[in-house]
Amino acid sequence: MDEFTEEEIINILNQYKMHKQRMQERYERVKDTDEFRKQNRERAKKHYHMNKEKKHQKYLENKDIVNARNIYYYYKNSINNIDLFIERHPEKYELLKKNGYFKDQNPSLSITYPHNSSSVAEPSSSL
């Protein structure tokens, strides 16, 4: 494998930047032409028709996760009670948890677990 000198690396990076700049300038020139729009639409339609089955398969695979996520957001944003979501839909909560949806976020700070409810704060009711 060839080793590149510092000058060659700088030269390669400059060539890449100039190429990207020229392509961006070309795109800015032709993006509003009728011919470009027509070709772009044809390319997009072709891509859509060639990948329709892949999108459908992906939708079928992720349908349950998307449904669980939508219900979670309903409880989070509209009702503002995530504990109620966990209580009413434990299987959807487990599905989201299993798929790593709550990796960086805590769905609720006041979750009570039946097996160890003494160490977890009880949800406060302000009714």
- What are the distances in angstroms from CA 1 to CA 4, 12, 13, 33, 68? 10, 17, 19, 45, 50
Return the domain boundaries, the chain.
Answer: 1-50, 57-100
Please give the mean pLDDT across all residues of the chain. 84
Is residue 92 pLDDT above 80, yes or no?
yes
Determine what percent of the chain is predicted with pLDDT higher than 70.
80
pTM of the model: 0.47
